Amino acid sequence: MDLIRIGDKVISLSRISSYTEQILLARSQGLSQHDVAKKFGVDRSFVSRLETLGELRKGRSIAVIGFPIANPDEVRQLCQDLGVELCWVMTNQERWEYAQSRNGIELVNEIMDLANKFRQFDIVILLASNARVRLMTALLDSRTVIPLVLGETPLSTDVTVDLPLLRQTISAVVDSPETKK
């Protein structure tokens, strides 16, 4: 139900949702709380409270890349639960379908675009074989990469990610002293 009654007022939940989304998107695009409050005709403290209400975590931006993963849904769910901004994991079959659905130049261009996208994260956790970890670390900034090696190259079968280890790794990054600066 979109409309609810509170006393003599009729409230539209979709309108609240839309305004909330617009306010937070404006903040994510770099506007200050003050500027957003002025733009939407609300108090600055309201903008702050919205951010606090939806906050999953503070600190560094984190991405997780992994293949070939036997439990991609569980990895995605864990990443979502911990506030990881980007989780890109694939099974071995998905990896091959991705590579084979593009011609050579398209694949190279997409890989370079993805590397550029991942370079924008403070931390990238890599879940891959030893040689793939070395290659992706070279494509990215090695100071921002945390490798979790799934096995020796070549990995031709899916590997189950140790979820407690991944949780511990993400939590360690989130709770690191640099995060609290």
Question: Which tens digit of pLDDT belongs to each residue from 111-167?
Answer: 888 888 888 888 999 999 999 999 888 888 767 899 999 999 999 899 999 999 999
Question: Which tens digit of pLDDT belongs to each residue from 68-108?
Answer: 999 999 999 999 999 899 999 999 999 999 999 999 899 89
Q: Where are the domains of the chain?
A: 3-54, 62-180
Beta strands in the chain (DSSP E): 3-6, 9-12, 62-66, 86-89, 123-129, 145-151
Strand order in the sheet with 145-151: 86-89, 62-66, 123-129, 145-151
The pLDDT score that the predictor gives to residue 181 is 44
The pLDDT score that the predictor gives to residue 178 is 53
The pLDDT score that the predictor gives to residue 20 is 92
Question: Which tens digit of pLDDT belongs to each residue from 57-71?
Answer: 456 789 999 999 999
Q: Which CATH class is domain 62-180?
A: alpha beta
Type of residue numbered 45? S
Q: Are 23 and 42 in contact (CB under 8 A)?
A: yes
Please tell me the distance from the alpha carbon of residue 176 to that of residue 65, in angstroms, as a whole number.
Answer: 21
| CB atoms inside a 10 Å sphere around CB 92 | 16
